[in-house]
Structure 1
Amino acid sequence: MAALKVALLGLGTVGLGVFESITQRKEQIEGLIGRKIEISGVLIRNEAKARALNEGVFISKDFQEVITQRKPEVVIEAIGGIEPARTYIEYSLRNGCHVVSANKDCIAKHGRDLQRIARENGVRFVYEASVAGGIPVLRTLRELLAVNKVERIEAILNGTSNFILSMMRTEGASFSEALALAQQKGYAEQDPTNDIEGFDAFYKAMILSEWIYGEQPDWDEVQIKGISSVTIDEIQAAEKIGLRVKHLVSIDESLHVEISPKFVDADHPLSSVENVNNAVLIKTDLLGDLTLIGAGAGAKPTASAIVEDLISLYLTQDHPHLKSPKRTQNNIGEADPALVKEQTSLLFYQNLSFREFTEIMSDLESSGTVLTYKEDGNLALSAVLFTGKLEGHAHPKLKSVYSAKVSSAISSAKKAIGV
C-alpha cells in the first residue's frame, strides 16, 4: 500500500509540535493506520530561517509546490488566522485532500462551508484541536454521547485567561503582573487581546454551538466580556465568602451563549480548574453531568489533538455532527418575566460608610435575598452575594457586578462567615 503523504502548512509553535509528534511517533502511527507515513512537504513563511528538520524534508514558501507537486493525501493546516488559511483549506479539499486544522477563527466563521466542500469532494475536514486544545470534546460529543440530548455546556476554553486568574488568586499578582508572566511563559501573545477580552473563547463557543445544535446564534447577540476589568481586590474579597472567579463560556439548548467572568462556589465542577487547563462541563438528559479537564493550550496538547485527528481519518467513519435537539421559544413556555430577570450576582461596593452599607443591605433584601456578604474593617471594598432582580438597585458606590454560579450558596456562605 502506498505511503500516506502528509503536508504541513505552517511551522510555528503548533506546526513544529505536530512535526515532532509525527516524526517521534512514526512507528506507532504506522502501526495504527497500517500504512507508512511521510511528511511530503512543509509550507513556511521564511526560507532563510534555520530549522532543525530531518534531511530530505521538502520545505517551501510556495503553497502550490507543497500541494500540487508533492500530492499529499492529508493536509494539516497550522497557520492560524482566517486568510490565507481558508483559501488553502478550501483548495486542498477541492483537490481531494483530507484536512486537519486547529484554526478556531477560520472554523467558527467558515466551518459550515468548508464541511460542505469536504462532503462534495468525498474527503473529511476535522478540527478537534480548535476548541479545547488536547481535550477530545468534539469526539466525545459525537461518538460517546450520540443518544444523549445536550442541554447545556459550561466551559473554561481559554488557558491564558485561566492562568492569569489563577495567578491573581494564588500569588496575589495584579492583572498586569499576571499577564506579563503569561507572556513570559509563552501562554499569551504579545498582543493578548483575543485571550483577555474573550474573543478566543467566543470563536470556540461558536464551533461548539454548530457542532452540538447544527447552528450558531447571531454573533451580534452574544454577550462577550473578558477578564481585563477583574481586580485583585475583587478576587480576594470573593475568596473570603468562598467564591472563585472563572472565565466561563455557557451555551444552552435555546442557543443562548454568554462568555464572561463568573464567580463560582467550591461545589461548582469547574471551581478547581487552575492554571492553563481547560475544562468542559456537559449537561445531558440521560448521563447527567460529564466534566472533561485537560491541557487547553501549548504545542504538545494541540499537537496531540491534531495527530489524533489524523489517525481518526483512517480509524473512524465520517459521522455527522451531533446536532442535539434545539429548544425553541415555542416550547419553552410562558415564563414569569420577573423570574427570567432574577439571578444570583456578586456586587462589589467601594468606600461605603456604615450607614450606606446598612441602607444598601436593606434595599436589596426588599426585592431579593442577600445570601451572604463580607466587608472589611473600613468598608473599602464590600462583597455582597445577592439573588434577585438588580433593576432599581444602582448606587453611586457600586463598583462592579458579576454573575455568580452557586450550587449551595446559603450553606457555604454561612460557613464562610462563621454563622
Structure 2
Amino acid sequence: MRTRPLKVALLGCGVVGSEVARIMTTHADDLTARIGAPVELAGVAVRRPSKVREGIDPSLVTTDATALVKRGDIDVVVEVIGGIEPARGLITTALAHGASVVSANKALIAQDGAALHEAAVEHGRDLYYEAAVAGAIPLIRPLRESLAGDKVNRVLGIVNGTTNFILDAMDTTGAGYQEALDEATALGYAEADPTADVEGFDAAAKAAILAGIAFHTRVRLDDVYREGMTEVTAADFASAKRMGCTIKLLAICERAADGGSVTARVHPAMIPLSHPLASVREAYNAVFVEAEAAGQLMFYGPGAGGAPTASAVLGDLVAVCRNKLAESTGPGDSAYTQLPVGSMGEVVTRYHISLDVADKPGVLAQVATVFAEHGVSIDTVRQTGKDGEASLVVVTHRAPDAALTGTVDALRRLDTVRGVASIMRVEGE
C-alpha cells in the first residue's frame, strides 16, 4: 500500500462540504483501505474564513481558491460551491494543473459539461459528478457503466425533494399549494426563495445530465422543456384521484420511437397510483429507467441534504483516487450518437383538460369537434353543471404535444368555453 497521501482540495464548506470533510476524517482508515492509499485534506476554500468550522484545521482554510487549485501537489479537487462562476474557472484551472475533479454542480454540468469533459480529456484527468443528480442515489454510474452495454430508451423520475414534499402534502392532506410550501419552508425542505425548485430549474438541469448520459448525446439545459408546479391546485388532485392517479413533478428523458432523436422535459403530470413513482413520499427522489435488455429499473433514496450528497461525493472521490493510483482515468463523456434534441411539440403524450363551459345543449359537440379537427382522440369526458355553468373534464388518448396545445388554443376561442381551468399531462401508462 502506498504511504504518501493523496491530497484533496475542497472548494466550499457549507452543508455538503462540511459533511465531506467530516467523513474524510472519521472514515479515514476505511477510505485508506478502499483506495489503497491515505487521503489528506490539503486545503479548504471558503468565502468567510472567520466562521468556526468544527473538525477542520483553521490553517487549511483559505479565501484564495485559485491559488489552492493551482498548487502542483493537489491530486483531487472537490467542488461543492455551486453556480456557474467561479466554479467553472476553478474546475478548468484545476484540470490544467494536474488535479482530477469531483463536483456536485448540476447547473454547471448541465450547461457546460461538454467543455469540461473536453478539458479533462485534454489534461488526462477525471471529471466525476454523481452528486449532481439525486443526492445519495447511485444513478450516473449505473447509467454510464452498468448499462453501458444496453440501450436506454426512457428515464422517468422525481429528482427534486422539495417539490415532491409539497405535492405529497397536497395529495395526502388536501392542502393548497401555498400552505404546503409554507410547511416545506418551516421544515427546512424549501429555500427562502424556492424558485429554482418549484419552477423546475433544478430538475431541468438534472434532466439534461441524465439525458446526455442515457442516450450518449449532448443535451444542454436550454434543450430541456420546463414547466413549474405553482399552478397545481387541490382541484387537480381531486381530478387525479378520480382517475386513480396522483400528481408528481417529473423529469422525463426519452428516445423517439424511431431512435432518430431524443427529448428532455420537466413538468407536473398525473401518474397512475399503480406506477412505482406514485408511492414516492415526502422529500425522497426516485428514478425509473427503461432499457431494452435490462427492462425496468428503479432507483430510490434521499435526493438531497448534506450527508446523502456527501456520500455520493465520497464515492466519486474513492473512484478518482483509485484511478490516480492506477495511472488511468474512468469513463468520460460519451456523446458518440450526436442525436438531435427534439422539441416539446414532438413529444407524444396525453392531456387532462378541465374546462369551464356554458351549461347548454351543443357545448359538448362543439368541444368534440375541436378535438377532431386537430386529430386528437378523446378517451373520457366528465361533465357537471349547475345554474347555467358547467365543468367539462376531457382526458385524451396519446397525441403529439403540438396537436394537444393547438386543441387547447382553439378551445379558448370558443364562445361557449368560459375558461380553461387546468391542463395537465398524463404519464406513466
Indicate whether the TM-score tops 0.5: yes
Instruction: Please list, as runs of the form range in 1=range in 2, the aligned pairs for 1:213-228 lying within 5 A after superposition.
Output: 213-217=215-219, 220=222, 222-228=224-230
Structure 1 residues 219, 63: closer, same or farther in 2, change over 3 A? Answer: closer
Whole-Å separation in 2 of the counterparts to 1:38 and 1:149 = 39
Structure 1 residues 381, 295: closer, same or farther in 2, change over 3 A? Answer: farther
Find the partner of 1:384 among 385, 394, 404.
Answer: 394
Whole-Å separation in 2 of the counterparts to 1:53 and 1:70 = 25
Q: Which amino acid aligns with 2:91?
A: I
Structure 1 residues 342, 97: closer, same or farther in 2, change over 3 A? Answer: closer
Q: Which amino acid aligns with 1:368?
A: S
Q: Which residue of 2 aligns with 1:114?
A: 116
Q: Which amino acid aligns with 1:264?
A: I
Instruction: Please list, as runs of the form range in 1=range in 2, the aligned pairs for 1:12-31 lying within 5 A after superposition.
Output: 12-31=14-33
Give how far 1:398 is off: 2.1
Q: Which residue of 2 aligns with 1:101?
A: 103
**1:270 is paired with a residue of what secondary structure?**
helix
Q: Which residue of 1 aligns with 2:380?
A: 371
Instruction: Please list, as runs of the form range in 1=range in 2, the aligned pairs for 1:217-296 lying within 5 A after superposition.
Output: 217=219, 220=222, 222-253=224-255, 254-296=261-303
Q: Is the CA contact (8 Å cut-off) linking 1:149 and 1:324 kept in structure 2?
A: no
Structure 1 residues 70, 219: closer, same or farther in 2, change over 3 A? Answer: closer
Q: Which residue of 2 aligns with 1:417?
A: none
**1:132 is paired with a residue of what secondary structure?**
coil
Q: Which amino acid aligns with 2:84?
A: I
Q: Does 1:318 align with 2:320?
A: no
Q: Is the CA contact (8 Å cut-off) linking 2:110 and 2:205 kept in structure 1?
A: yes
Structure 1 residues 353, 17: closer, same or farther in 2, change over 3 A? Answer: farther
Q: Is the CA contact (8 Å cut-off) linking 2:117 and 2:333 kept in structure 1?
A: no
**2:424 is paired with a residue of what secondary structure?**
strand
Whole-Å separation in 2 of the counterparts to 1:124 and 1:198 = 29
Q: Is the CA contact (8 Å cut-off) linking 1:237 and 1:381 kept in structure 2?
A: no
- More moved, 91-100 vs 392-401: 392-401
Q: Is the CA contact (8 Å cut-off) linking 2:216 and 2:337 kept in structure 1?
A: no
Q: Which amino acid aligns with 2:312?
A: A
Structure 2 stretches of 5 or more lacking a match?
256-260, 324-328
CA RMSD of aligned residues (A): 2.9
Between the aligned residues of both structures, percent identity stands at 34
Q: Does 1:400 align with 2:422?
A: yes
**1:256 is paired with a residue of what secondary structure?**
strand
Instruction: Please list, as runs of the form range in 1=range in 2, the aligned pairs for 1:1-400 lying within 5 A after superposition.
Output: 1-55=3-57, 58-68=60-70, 71-217=73-219, 220=222, 222-253=224-255, 254-315=261-322, 318-321=330-333, 323=335, 325=337, 343-350=349-356, 353=359, 368-371=377-380, 373=382, 383-387=393-397, 390=404, 391=407, 392-394=410-412, 395-400=417-422
- More moved, 170-179 vs 300-309: 170-179
Q: Is the CA contact (8 Å cut-off) linking 1:41 and 1:66 kept in structure 2?
A: yes
Whole-Å separation in 2 of the counterparts to 1:354 and 1:23 = 73
Give how far 1:196 is off: 0.8
Give how far 1:169 is off: 0.8
Whole-Å separation in 1 of the counterparts to 2:100 and 2:307 = 22
Whole-Å separation in 1 of the counterparts to 2:150 and 2:237 = 37
Q: Is the CA contact (8 Å cut-off) linking 1:187 and 1:297 kept in structure 2?
A: no
Q: Is the CA contact (8 Å cut-off) linking 2:349 and 2:427 kept in structure 1?
A: no
Whole-Å separation in 2 of the counterparts to 1:357 and 1:276 = 43
**1:278 is paired with a residue of what secondary structure?**
strand
Whole-Å separation in 1 of the counterparts to 2:205 and 2:154 = 17
Give how far 1:44 is off: 1.1
Deviations 1:386-415 (A, max 9, x none): 2266424443332121111252xxxxxxxx
Whole-Å separation in 2 of the counterparts to 1:67 and 1:340 = 44
Give how far 1:70 is off: 8.2
Structure 1 residues 218, 25: closer, same or farther in 2, change over 3 A? Answer: closer
Q: Is the CA contact (8 Å cut-off) linking 1:149 and 1:325 kept in structure 2?
A: no
Q: Is the CA contact (8 Å cut-off) linking 2:13 and 2:45 kept in structure 1?
A: yes
Q: Is the CA contact (8 Å cut-off) linking 2:157 and 2:287 kept in structure 1?
A: yes
TM-score, normalised to structure 2's length? 0.84
Structure 1 residues 2, 246: closer, same or farther in 2, change over 3 A? Answer: same
Whole-Å separation in 2 of the counterparts to 1:377 and 1:396 = 14
Q: Is the CA contact (8 Å cut-off) linking 2:247 and 2:270 kept in structure 1?
A: yes
* Number of residue equivalences: 399
Deviations 1:85-132 (A, max 9, x none): 111111111111111000011111121111111122121110011122
Give how far 1:353 is off: 3.4
Q: Which amino acid aligns with 1:245?
A: I
**1:152 is paired with a residue of what secondary structure?**
strand
Q: Is the CA contact (8 Å cut-off) linking 1:164 and 1:182 kept in structure 2?
A: yes
Whole-Å separation in 2 of the counterparts to 1:79 and 1:68 = 17
Give how far 1:234 is off: 1.2
**2:276 is paired with a residue of what secondary structure?**
coil
TM-score, normalised to structure 1's length? 0.86
